[in-house]
Amino acid sequence: MTQYLLLKFIHILIALVALGGSAGLGIALEFYGSHPTHGPFLLRAIGRIVAFFVLPGYVLMLVTGLWMVNMAWPLTTRWIQGAMVLWAMGIAGLAIFLAVLRKQRRLLEAEGPSSPLYQRVSLLGRGLGGGLGLVGIMILYLMVFKPGT
């Protein structure tokens, strides 16, 4: 097994664990995030999972990805540059998502799920989650199809 293949395996494993799991978080959030009793717990748990698994996974994916690029591709390759721009958008989106999630949890605990402000913040969180999912899909497309090569 070559070093490149090992890195590729680790890179994909990180994607499955860190980013694949976040899709399930979005589903749980949609179904139970506004529940008056269980919602605050779920919002705290999702925040912890994002902070301790998704964000570190995102960083490790950058490290392993750049390591593979160093071994096999020039950084000037357009699909790699596109993936790096999308990665930066994703990390910024995750940071914003965590802030929105904290606000959503505080509003749910203080005002309840029927509060208009809570509903607006919840909708913003859903939009951010969907946008982050789209960024992930676009990065996956670039990694698999390597357009322009």
According to DSSP, residue 15 is labeled I
Average pLDDT, the chain: 93
pTM for the complete prediction?
0.90
Q: Which domain holds residue 29?
A: 3-145
pLDDT in tens, 48-63: 999 999 999 999 999 9
63 vs 59, 103, 134, CA distance in Å? 6, 31, 21
Which among 130, 123, 141, 6 is positioned nearest to 68, based on CA atoms? 6
The single-letter code of the amino acid at 116 is: P
For the chain, the residue count is: 149
Dihedral angle sign, alpha carbons of residues 16, 22, 50, 68: positive
DSSP string, 41-67: HHHHHHHHHIIIIIHHHHHHHHHHHHH
Per-residue pLDDT tens digits for 111-122: 999 999 999 999
Q: How many domains does the chain have?
A: 1
pLDDT tens profile 68-103: 999 999 999 999 999 999 999 999 999 999 999 999
